[in-house]
Amino acid sequence: MTSGDLNVELNELDQAAQFVAKAYDDITNGKKAVDKEANDVMLGSWTGHLASKVKDGYETWLDGFNEVLKSLQESSDILSEIRQSYANRDHENASNFQSIGGESGGMLNLP
């Protein structure tokens, strides 16, 4: 392969998309546990000025955390779309190759 060639392994794109999707699921499940604990404390027995400050900080953290989750979901979707695009291109190329004389004989009828 020369430096200008592009080689895409579809199974590796699948694995990457699945890895990112699993990370998203794992982090989402962890977030649910953190949310429950935080809400139990902030909405339960803890009140006053410091509780309000902690709640503000938690909400800021939560906003950032949700951005990370959104990015993971988008990354997984993009990897899946790229994989499908390359698979479609491979199929088209194989069809074109066969129609001009590839494995089925075609117009070129090469020995």
Per DSSP (E only), the strands in 2-111 are none
Region of 100 (left: φ > 0; alpha: ψ -120 to 50; beta: rest) is: alpha
* Predicted confidence (pLDDT) per residue in 2-60, tens digit: 567 778 888 898 899 999 999 999 999 999 999 888 888 888 777 788 878 888 899 99
Which domains, from first to last, does the chain contain? Answer: 10-97 (1.10.287)
For residues 54 and 109, is the Cβ–Cβ distance under 8 A?
Answer: no
Please report the pLDDT score of residue 96 as a whole number.
80
